[in-house]
Amino acid sequence: MKNLKIIFVILIAAMAILLLFMSQNSAKPVTQKPIVSVTTFALYDIVKHIAGDSVEIVHILPFGVDPHSFEPTPQLMAKIEKSSLMIYSGAGLEPWTQGFRFKSKVINMSKHVRLRELTAHDHEADTEHESHHMHMTTDPHYWLDFKNMQKAAAVITEALSELLPQKSSYFKANEKKYIAMLQNLDKQYKKRLSSCKVDTVVVSHNALGYLSRNYGFHVESLTGLSPEAQPSAKDVARVMNDIKKDGVTTIFFEHFVNDTVIKRIAKDTGINIDVFQPLGNITKDEADAGLDYEAIMKKNLKKLSKALVCN
């Protein structure tokens, strides 16, 4: 009987110690990762590679959605408000950001990169359409310029280091690797596109302005900078004339653009048709496959060098 009392006292003491430990442990605040919200896929890719799992990344634009016509839901905007850092592309690509009051630090990345000024040729196809792109003076697709991506990586690294100073050396090491990757892509593009028999590609809408400027080829498009516009008969006639005149071998379209007219032009002119990924966003299949900026830009290079008949 005495032994049973001793065992009972020991059990009571053990339970008391366990309860005390559990209460102290539960009293400790749960460490939550800061939320970083981004719009375009290129910005998402930079944050993902530099921050790793140090932050929770909210990709505002769902995979498989056209960035030009996207409008966030109230639920998504509520999540954005909780972010410690919000990064958007700017240059007119996200009109929904106008007038929205962000509570935390916000970066308009277009203010930190070199934007391409639009020319009369850029607006040629737009004159047939009512689109806000008609009133734009700069090309918003700056992430297709590897030097701009390097600038964006530097800005994001600095912002992340301010957010998590203890991780600064980790972020800077990842930035160095990311910039080396971008520099290598630039070298590959210069090498592959340096000697080509054709100097023009035709696209559904002109998201290739930075690439064409940096690597010396021309772009003709059905709808200028406006992917949501429907091409007119005049647009189709103009593009078909360009195909015959310039010896174009391939016409490119995007995943988020209706390809009916493009396919008809390709059939009537006897040229190839292919998908080009301008990386404003990616498809769900591409996301599920784990494709990143580097992998997709390498695919784009392969398609460009084939279309331009490069040595």
Residue with the bigger pLDDT between 303 and 129: it is: 303
d(CA 148, CA 115): 9
Instruction: Give the distance from CA 303 to its chain's centroid.
Output: 19
Residue 165 has pLDDT above 90, yes or no: yes
What pLDDT score was predicted for residue 27?
44
Tokens for 61, please give them: 């634009």
pLDDT above 70 (res 6): no
Output 159 or 259, whichever has higher pLDDT. 159
Q: How confident is the model at residue 24 (pLDDT cuts 50, 70, 90)?
A: low
**pLDDT of amino acid 48:** 97
- Which carries the bigger pLDDT value, residue 67 or residue 47? 47
Q: Over the chain, what is the mean pLDDT?
A: 85
Per-residue pLDDT, 66: 79
DSSP for 238-297, please give it.
HHHHHHHHHT--EEEE-TTS--HHHHHHHHHHT-EEEE---SSS--HHHHHTT--HHHHH
pLDDT digits (tens, 9 = 90+) for 89-136: 999 888 888 777 777 899 999 999 999 998 767 656 554 444 444 457
Distance (Å, whole) CA 234 – CA 259: 17
Question: What is the number of other CB atoms lying within 10 angstroms of the CB of residue 297?
Answer: 24
Sign of the C-alpha dihedral, residues 247, 249, 253, 258? positive
- Residue 81 is predicted with a pLDDT of 84
What fold is seen in the domain 110-311? Rossmann fold (3.40.50)
Higher model confidence: residue 304 or residue 228?
304
Residue scoring higher pLDDT (254 or 153): 153
**What span, in angstroms and rounded, lies between the C-alpha atoms of 36 and 39?**
10
pLDDT digits (tens, 9 = 90+) for 171-227: 999 999 999 999 999 999 999 999 999 999 999 888 999 999 999 999 988 876 656
Q: What is the pLDDT of residue 127?
A: 46
Q: What is the pLDDT of residues 275-301, one digit of tens each?
A: 999 998 899 999 999 999 999 999 999
What pLDDT was estimated at residue 16?
53
Indicate the domain borders of the chain: 110-311
Q: Which pLDDT band holds residue 29 (cuts at 50, 70, 90)?
A: very low
